[in-house]
Amino acid sequence: MMNIFLIGFMGSGKSTVASYMANNFAMEIVEMDELIASREGMSISNIFETYGETYFRDLESALLKECQCKPNQVISCGGGVVLRDENVRTMKENGRIVLLTATAQTILKRVANDEGRPLLQGKKTIEDIEKLMEVRREKYEAAADIVISTDDKSTLKICEEIRMKMKEIQGE
Ligand code: S3P
């Protein structure tokens, strides 16, 4: 019944895994970016462009707070959610945090044809992705209760690993 917060770099597989978990484990899905975009009536890129990143980050923090009202949700967070310590505290108080990882090579393959990520506009090279991953690595790792590498794994395998590791830490 616990909430699961999926965190990780853009293209690490959060949305795919969240949707699989919601369908197969009878959990409610919260796709944060999608919800923010639909409430604002514009794409994430347009929100960044029109109002700036801080405005988006404020919406993101507010939505996370909203999620605390309910149990049994799988919450697919935007890749930058860990940038604010306040967000990490909110997640820790309301569920378990699962970090999905992937190499820069895998990430590049997954995001190559997607124009919906403003922070990767004009930065779709292994070097640029590695640089941004490196800046964030410490924050991702410090926030995570569970870390799952997603390279070359099916969604089913990733979800099984999440379940197993969740069981392990529940038993602690
Ligand atoms: C961001 C990741 C995006 C989205 C926004 C900012 C980030 O979400 O929230 O573009 O700072 O890493 P995804 O991780 O779902 O692409």
Per residue in 121-164, pLDDT tens?
A: 999 999 999 999 999 999 999 999 999 999 999 999 999 999 99
- Centre of ligand 1 to C-alpha 171, Å, is 32
Residues within a 6 A CB radius of ligand 1: 10, 14, 33, 44, 78-80, 117-119
- Centre of ligand 1 to C-alpha 172, Å, is 32
Residue-level pLDDT at 66: 94
**Buried b vs exposed e over 69-78: b needs ≥16 C-beta within 10 Å?**
eeeebbbbbb
- Centre of ligand 1 to C-alpha 35, Å, is 13
* Stated pTM of the model: 0.97
Query: How many other C-beta atoms can be found within 10 angstroms of the C-beta atom of residue 148?
Result: 24
**In one letter, which amino acid is 84?**
R
- Of 53, 54, 49, 14, give the one whose Cα is nearest residue 31: 14
Residue closest via CA to ligand 1's atom 15 equals 78
Judged by phi (left if over 0) then psi (alpha if -120 to 50, else beta), residue 87 lies in: alpha
- Bridge partners, 3 (sequence order): 95
Each residue's pLDDT tens digit, 25-54: 999 999 999 999 999 999 999 999 999 999
Residues 6+ apart with CB under 8 A from 139: 82, 83, 88
Each residue's pLDDT tens digit, 49-106: 999 999 999 999 999 999 988 999 999 999 999 999 999 999 999 999 999 999 999 9
